[in-house]
């Protein structure tokens, strides 16, 4: 009987713990402003701002191009600001927090010499009709 009571107590504690959820300050954030407009020609715009400092806005033409910005504060207290465009050339983000690729390394000399040799000895059409031996 004692084991049953201990087991019941453990199950009751587990059920009570399951009902409690961790709530961060961001969970209580409220929307301070919101705007959205979609036009018949496919152009659109939206913007919003929350009470915890998150803000975003975007405008564009559906499926063709977009430009916008977003900002928030990181958990470390650093302001993060992102601007971007998206069009037929791809997505182009800009922001001080984004990683920067290293500069390209110089081409090794042996590759440069090989490219120079290939340029000096162009492919001859007479080789195109010869059977290949493997």
Note the pLDDT tens digit of each residue in 79-104.
999 999 999 999 999 999 999 888 88
> Is the pLDDT at 68 greater than 80, yes or no?
yes
Residue 82 is classified by DSSP as: E
Sorted by where each begins, the domain ranges of the chain are 29-99
Q: What is the pTM of this model?
A: 0.58
**Beta-strand runs (E) in 1-134:** 31-38, 43-50, 55-61, 65-73, 79-87, 90-94
Beta bridge partners of 36: 46
Please, which pLDDT band fits residue 28 given cuts at 50, 70 and 90? confident
Region label for 113, one of left (φ > 0), alpha (ψ between -120 and 50) or beta (otherwise): alpha
Average pLDDT estimate for 106-126: 87
Q: What is the pLDDT of residue 130?
A: 65
d(CA 14, CA 6): 12
CB 58 within 8 A of CB 73: no
Q: What is the pLDDT of residue 101?
A: 86
* Percent helix, percent strand, percent coil in the chain, to nearest 5: 30, 35, 40
Which residue's entry shows tokens 């390394």? 105
Q: What is the pLDDT of residues 34-59, one digit of tens each?
A: 999 999 999 999 999 999 999 999 99
């Amino acid at each position: 009987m004692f084991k049953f009571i201990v087991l019941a107590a453990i199950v009751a504690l587990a059920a009570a713990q399951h009902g409690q959820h961790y709530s961060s300050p961001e969970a209580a954030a409220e929307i301070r402003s919101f705007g959205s407009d979609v036009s018949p020609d496919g152009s659109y715009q939206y913007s919003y701002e929350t009470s915890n400092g998150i803000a975003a806005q975007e405008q564009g033409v559906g499926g063709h191009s977009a430009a916008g910005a977003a900002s928030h504060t990181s958990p470390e207290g650093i302001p993060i600001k992102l601007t971007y465009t998206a069009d037929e050339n791809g997505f182009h983000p800009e922001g001080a927090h984004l990683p920067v690729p290293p500069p390209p390394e110089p081409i090794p000399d042996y590759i440069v010499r090989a490219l120079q040799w290939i340029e000096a000895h162009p492919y001859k059409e007479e080789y195109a009709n010869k059977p290949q031996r493997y």
